[in-house]
Structure 1
């Protein structure tokens, strides 16, 4: 199975490093382009789960096709499955949004560090006339 096609990914994003290992210790470091990519991808995944959630609602409210016992039991089982699916999708949406938010926060820190570096670089040297 080609997971890219199954997930609707037709082309890999360009730019970004997707996490060069940090030599000093555990973790990864990302460049600005990668952070933007990650925010976009996590938000897109959250939106896909939200679309699935809309469709899962139909399962959660399934009605029995007839009035006999077997139909009612089947519908109840289907409704329980739909409710479990809705709960799982809501959890996944929240997780994806949380991840996107973390990368937005990282972008803010990145921008702050860049601004500080520019300020330091643009200061006139001391002691040179």
Structure 2
């Protein structure tokens, strides 16, 4: 190092080049100039199914973690002295908080999965309705 100075960390020298992120599916909100109002998501059928499956999978992971957290919540001290008992009590308290948190996250993921399944059902009903209307006018899909 020049002049015996230690190296100085400069975070700007370690940045990866920025690449634009292109959305794969869906949009948020109403497209400009459509007259539609209000926020919302618009996805195709495959994307809705994939999102529902992803949320279900994440919920299943939390359920698996819950089983392990219950072991922590039931910890016992290795000995009968005060230190072991006190340590085990603190571990059980932490384990109990972990169980509660994981359970809430599992529920949230299941609710999100159900929302996408519900949206998928609405999508299918709307598609069936439009298909019926087209057929009644003599058109075909």
TM over 0.5: yes
Three-state SS of the structure 1 residue aligned to 2:77 is: coil
2:94 aligned with 1:116: no
Identify the range of structure 1 (89-98 vs 20-29) with the bigger mean alpha-carbon deviation.
20-29
2:35 aligned with 1:30: no
2:86 aligned with 1:79: no
Query: What TM-score, normalized to structure 1?
Result: 0.80
Once the two structures are superposed, residues 44-85 of structure 1 have per-residue CA deviations (whole angstroms, 9 ceiling, x without a partner) of 000000000011111001000111111100000000010110
Once the two structures are superposed, residues 11-36 of structure 1 have per-residue CA deviations (whole angstroms, 9 ceiling, x without a partner) of xxxxx71x223313422211101100
Gaps of 5+ in 1: 1-15
Quote the residue 1:62 is aligned against: 75
Structure 1 outlier segments of 4+, above 6 Å: none
Largest Rg, 1 or 2: 2
**Which residue among 8, 12, 27 is the counterpart of 1:20?**
27
Which whole-Å CA distance do the structure 1 matches of 2:52 and 2:137 have between them? 37
| Residues paired across the two proteins, number | 109
**Which residue among 91, 109, 115 is the counterpart of 2:104?**
91
Gaps of 5+ in 2: 1-23
Query: What TM-score, normalized to structure 2?
Result: 0.74
